[in-house]
Structure 1
Amino acid sequence: MHTRSTTPGSTGEDEFYFMSSHLSLKASGVHVRVRTPARDGISASGAFSREVAEAFARARADGIHNPVLMGAIPFDMDKPSELFIPRRLAFFDRSERLGAAAQRTGASAQVVSARSIPDERDFKAAVGKAIAHFQLGEIRKAVLSRVLEVDFAQPVSAQAIFDSVCAQNPNGYQFQLPVEGCGQLVGVSPELLLRKSGANVRTFPLAGSAKRQSDAEADAAASAQLLDSAKDHYEHSLVIDEIRSVLAPHCAELSIPAAPSLLGTRAMWHLGSPIDGLLADPAMPVLQLACRLHPTPAICGFPTQASRQLIRQIEPFERGVFSGMVGWCNEQGDGEWAVTIRCATVDRQRARLFAGAGIVAASTPDAEWAETEAKLATMLRAFGLAGAEAVA
């Protein structure tokens, strides 16, 4: 059994958040944890779904009305889930939280040391290995990532980092959640994995990226170049084709744009495609359908199993919750899950910041390293660090 209740004195009363333009949640206290891996999460009769149902039932029996499950599921669904039902929960207007964060002093701390895993040389070598694999077999895309480990002179406040994330990135999906053994997960994802409300579902995959520029004219040129990039459109098409194949059997209607559009964050331009569907069975829970989608080629590769195996061979670290999914669901099966990117784990004096890049045959090692540098900028700013150079 991986589900367990916690006594009132066994955990602190930290505040946890998942915020979006759709619905935002503020929680405190951990009443029941669900650590069961989501490997069989697509099945209503699997161990994961049974544990989730048991957690909801236990929370109701303990007097929690309308319980909500929130947290994160790792990239590797064979690993333990990081889900919980909070003791107290409220839906609220996130503009209040964003406004309060903007009034607070930005996060800053003295860096003692930092290292990239893998380092620049090894990451570029890994990109070369991935491209070589494409010529030998069925793999057409693989997403390779890196972690930047930063040690600080004093303990870092996850709450302060979350304030900075919210103040600097008012759009997207902001989250601050507990991760067992790793402190807290903090971030702001631009990518929606799946939202479900009744029979209506939406996903908004992103694939194909370019760094934002400080000069307006150069920034416009960067976005135009991305929109015209055959390499990035090809990478994006692999994601869309896979999502279509997963969702179409479960939808009475499915609307997919003929071409991607531009989505901009403070740090990046992305190619994105909003996809809307009407479920044939409105009772299908959001978490079961999300487990069918995860991991998409946007954060793993194509085809999924082969690219996942390549990632295991090449990446020198465990991703954990990075590039998994983060969000919430209720007992009725509605909810919202984002892809866990633009994030960091904060544990006392150590932070681990994550970034990845989609590799296809037309990729170059230098460009893919530069893309990870650009993506790290979102969380580096949240820690009060101007860029990767500040911790080199």
Structure 2
Amino acid sequence: MSTGLRTDANPVELVVEHASAPLALMARLAGSGLFGDYVVYERPGSWTFAGGVLAEVVLDAGAVRAHWPGQAPVTRPWTGRPADALRRAFADAPLPAWNAYGWIAFECAAARPSGRLAHLVVPRTEVRAENGRVTVTGTDETDIEQVAELLAKPGGHPVGEPSPVDVSVGGAPYRARVAEAVAEIHAGLYQKVIVSRRLDVPHPVDVVSTYVRGREANTPARSFLLDLGGFEATGFSPEVLASVDSAGRVMTQPLAGTRAFGLGPDTDARTRHDLETDPKEIYEHAVSVRTSQEELYRVCEQDSVRVTGFMTVKERGSVQHLGSSVSGTLSPGRTAWDALDALFPGVTASGIPKPEAIDAITRLEERRGLYSGAVVTVSHDGALDSALVLRALYAENGRAWLRAGAGIVSASTPDREYEETCEKLSSIAPHVVPRT
């Protein structure tokens, strides 16, 4: 994915050696107040801070609004697939090169989408940390100068102490929803559904400090931190939803099957063996991988679809999962937006078959929003990378909350599924930092 942003003028670029660890650098930028809106996105070996708004695309249930530099905002109605509405909005970009960052809500996949569905920005300034070097690229010389001054200052963002959130509340209503889902599965309505529960945080949260504390304790496939339009979120995604390079190679990484992790070598080894031999967990994972294959067959060349690393145990903070990678090459005429549409929402956060599972989720739960949606970065060259949003904290209008779910199949029991949500919430709940 390219790093340059250009309008009619050449971009300003600054490359420096920087001693700070990337996590500390991202926290310093996010907490600096230099940019009202920003997105931090971590991929293996690469951290990017996207600050300020050069352009913006916002998708609501009834309309898509695009605001490009030098032009008045344009709001248009849309029908059909949300991914197509986003693709058309970015096809109109009057920029020769751009990268966009933002989020897509779970409700994009609903039969009748509602509320805010997506919010993406092309930043004024990008700061990328890779291999001990920091590259600052942008369209505004003042931004570049301010970032350079910030990088030159000693110290970093002050990180507060966590106040752990109790994950054990709310068990009774969740168990009841699980029992209802199991009954619907036995009635033949669907094979699998992910039932989640929301956990409110009893105090305002320092989201940047929570990102630092949580990232220090987690081993995510992707991590993110964002503040767009006053909505904040941070998380440690256990799996890649869709990654597409500029040559059209697609990869998704379904994880399904869960046990606790981090309880000591002997306990971790025992729970790993239990995970790898439990028929319910193996079935849950196998049907998820099969679904991911079927989804890629819709948009990829048939003989290119492959499964690798089948049922490998992935350690993700307080839990361990069974994981596999499914990949393929886009068919002629298909784009990264098609791949995202085929895989969204993640099978491991929705269910099987997806339409029936999504319908069940809308009946069993309140609006999810960003939970089990995606944080996305997309580029003019056709590349796209998206993290499935799990193990995350969300904050808006002075309130913060967590959310976690479990995959319900015919063999599920309410007590075990509730326990699984506690294990997943423990990836972030102990690391929540109050705002002072």
Shift of 1:51: 1.6
Q: In the alignment, is the contact (CA less than 8 A) between 2:58 and 2:119 conserved in 1?
A: yes
Shift of 1:123: 0.4
Kindly indicate whether residue 400 of structure 2 is the aligned counterpart of residue 351 of structure 1. Answer: yes
Residue equivalent to 1:201: 250
Residue equivalent to 2:59: 36
Residue equivalent to 2:40: 17
Shift of 1:143: 0.3
1:81 to 103, 118, 129: 118
Partners of 2:430 and 2:162 lie apart in 1 by: 12
Residue equivalent to 1:285: 335
Q: In the alignment, is the contact (CA less than 8 A) between 1:141 and 1:297 conserved in 2?
A: no
Partners of 1:94 and 1:50 lie apart in 2 by: 35
Partners of 1:279 and 1:107 lie apart in 2 by: 45
Which digits, 9 at most, give the CA deviation of each residue in 1:170-189, with x for residues without a partner?
542110123445x3111110
Is the alpha carbon distance of 1:338 and 1:94 closer, same or farther for their aligned partners in structure 2, counting shifts above 3 Å? farther
Is the alpha carbon distance of 1:95 and 1:222 closer, same or farther for their aligned partners in structure 2, counting shifts above 3 Å? farther
TM-score (norm 2): 0.75
SS in 1 for 2:430: helix
Q: In the alignment, is the contact (CA less than 8 A) between 2:299 and 2:342 conserved in 1?
A: no
Aligned-partner residue type, residue 206 of structure 1: L
Partners of 1:150 and 1:42 lie apart in 2 by: 31
Q: In the alignment, is the contact (CA less than 8 A) between 1:42 and 1:288 conserved in 2?
A: no
Residue equivalent to 2:386: 337
Shift of 1:363: 0.6
Partners of 1:23 and 1:285 lie apart in 2 by: 24
Is the alpha carbon distance of 1:76 and 1:222 closer, same or farther for their aligned partners in structure 2, counting shifts above 3 Å? same
Residue equivalent to 2:352: 302
Which digits, 9 at most, give the CA deviation of each residue in 1:15-34, with x for residues without a partner?
42011106432111123222
SS in 1 for 2:36: coil
Shift of 1:259: 3.8
Kindly indicate whether residue 197 of structure 2 is the aligned counterpart of residue 156 of structure 1. Answer: no
Partners of 2:346 and 2:313 lie apart in 1 by: 19
Partners of 2:367 and 2:267 lie apart in 1 by: 37
Partners of 1:366 and 1:82 lie apart in 2 by: 37
Superposition pairs of residues 206-285 of structure 1, within 5 angstroms: 206-252=255-301, 253-257=304-308, 259-281=310-332, 284-285=334-335
Q: In the alignment, is the contact (CA less than 8 A) between 2:307 and 2:327 conserved in 1?
A: yes
Superposition pairs of residues 10-159 of structure 1, within 5 angstroms: 12-21=35-44, 23-37=46-60, 40-41=80-81, 46-54=84-92, 56-57=93-94, 60=95, 66-77=97-108, 78-79=113-114, 80-93=117-130, 106-108=159-161, 119-152=170-203, 155-159=204-208
Which digits, 9 at most, give the CA deviation of each residue in 1:23-60, with x for residues without a partner?
432111123222225984476xx433212223x32xx2
SS in 1 for 2:369: coil
Residue equivalent to 1:6: none
Partners of 1:263 and 1:296 lie apart in 2 by: 17
Is the alpha carbon distance of 1:29 and 1:156 closer, same or farther for their aligned partners in structure 2, counting shifts above 3 Å? same
Q: In the alignment, is the contact (CA less than 8 A) between 1:242 and 1:296 conserved in 2?
A: no
Residue equivalent to 2:235: 187
TM-score (norm 1): 0.82
Aligned-partner residue type, residue 48 of structure 1: L
SS in 1 for 2:59: coil
Residue equivalent to 1:367: 416
Is the alpha carbon distance of 1:94 and 1:189 closer, same or farther for their aligned partners in structure 2, counting shifts above 3 Å? farther
SS in 2 for 1:308: helix
Aligned-partner residue type, residue 123 of structure 1: Y
Partners of 1:157 and 1:318 lie apart in 2 by: 24
Residue equivalent to 1:7: none
Partners of 2:187 and 2:390 lie apart in 1 by: 30
Partners of 1:258 and 1:19 lie apart in 2 by: 23
SS in 2 for 1:263: strand
SS in 1 for 2:428: helix
Partners of 2:173 and 2:226 lie apart in 1 by: 31
SS in 2 for 1:214: coil
SS in 2 for 1:241: helix
Aligned-partner residue type, residue 235 of structure 2: G
Number of aligned positions between the proteins: 356
Shift of 1:295: 1.5
Is the alpha carbon distance of 1:175 and 1:251 closer, same or farther for their aligned partners in structure 2, counting shifts above 3 Å? same
Shift of 1:213: 4.3
Segments of structure 1 that go 5 or more residues without pairing to the other structure are 1-10, 386-392
Partners of 1:333 and 1:174 lie apart in 2 by: 22
Q: In the alignment, is the contact (CA less than 8 A) between 2:99 and 2:122 conserved in 1?
A: yes
Shift of 1:85: 1.5
Partners of 1:131 and 1:279 lie apart in 2 by: 36
SS in 2 for 1:143: strand
CA RMSD in angstroms comes to 2.9
Q: In the alignment, is the contact (CA less than 8 A) between 2:293 and 2:326 conserved in 1?
A: no
